[in-house]
Amino acid sequence: MTMNTYKITVGRGTFNVRDRGNKDGFPVVMLHGWPESSYCWEAVADFLNPSLRVIAPDLRGLGDSERTVDINAYQKAELAKDIVEVLDALQVDTFFLVGHDWGGIVAQEVALLVPQRVKKFVIMNIPVITNVQGSLEAMKVTQSRGSFFLWYQYFQQQPRLPEAMIKGNEDVWVRHFFGKEGRKGIISPEAIAEYVRCYSIENTPATAASYYRTMRLDTARWTTLGGRKFSMPTLYIYGNEDTVIIPENLNHIEDCFDSIKIEHIKAGHFVQEEKPKEVAALMNEFF
């Protein structure tokens, strides 16, 4: 099933939204990561309980949402304000919230910003921003291995380099990150082609890089959040073959939530695209 798409303009900008359209269903807000778009939730939506209304916005600078040049707009707390304003415009009050990769970070910022509106919370393959100790332990392990798997983050933080080298090479750039799962068709060719299309939109190498160029500002904020707990029931789904989000990122994670359940799936980083049926089943049970 392909979800409906539409553009919505709010005070903070113009955003593309995928929507199941069943307005009587309880909303599930799903936030994608990099280098994807909201299309990454299509396969999962096929297996989700049909009574749920899936609402999946494209984050600023990705998908078909606006390409804002101002780098400050990509601080994750700012991206969370985008999502809340879109939901306000859609008259969505309370909702389940799901996030993967950078979308999982933005989802955490949403959950801190409007905790009373988030009834249940699902995050996948992303550090917990209030887990200062776990993040430090994961960083030490990553550094001991030469930080090899983080090369793309350092690359995108360089001034003008992504803009110069990615433009015209979007197909090679995007496909690289989906690895053997993309080459074998485990992650659908249609999905990857859609991400290549979106990355080929003017200014995307810069706006996508802004997610990484703001990491210094984001990290400074997150170091102040140690000890904060997420109050809503939470499910953490971990694709345990991920090379970037490593098991040490999950150390001390139970200390960050009033209630959390952790589920491991044999998959890589893009767990919801590699195993959509299994991910949807866990969500259906949790919701």
Prior bond of 35 cis (ω within 30°): yes
**Residue 84 DSSP label:** H
Q: DSSP secondary structure string, 136-147?
A: HHHHHHHHHTTT
pLDDT at residue 277 in the model = 98
Amino acid 80: pLDDT: 98
Residue numbers of the domain that contains 154 = 4-286
CATH of the domain at 49: 3.40.50.1820
Q: What was the pLDDT predicted at 227?
A: 86
Q: What is the pLDDT of residue 24?
A: 93
Strand, coil or helix: 32: coil
Closest listed residue to residue 103, CA positions, set 119, 82, 126, 87: 126
Tokens 């090899």 sit at which residue? 148
Q: What's the whole-model pTM score?
A: 0.97
Please give the tally of structural domains in the chain. Answer: 1
* pLDDT recorded at residue 2: 76
- Going by C-beta distance under 8 Å and a sequence separation of 6 or more, which residues neighbour residue 260? 233, 234, 235, 236, 253, 254
Cα–Cα distance between 251 and 198 in angstroms, integer? 35
Q: Computed from CA positions of residues 244, 250, 251, 256, in that sequence, does the dihedral angle turn out positive or negative?
A: positive
Q: Please, is 215 exposed, middle or buried when counting C-beta atoms within 10 Å of its C-beta (0-12, 13-18, 19+)?
A: middle
- H/E run at residue 18: strand 13-19
The DSSP 8-state label assigned to residue 87 in this structure reads: H
Q: Show the tokens assigned to 260.
A: 């959390």
Residues of the chain whose pLDDT is less than 70?
A: 1
pLDDT score recorded for residue 1: 62
Q: Which residues of 100-120 are buried (b: 16+ CB within 10 A; e: fewer)?
A: bbbbbbbbbbbbbebeebbeb
68: enclosing H helix or E strand: none
Measured at the CA of 57, the angle between CA 210 and CA 261, to 5 degrees, comes to: 90
Provide the pLDDT for residue 26. Answer: 98
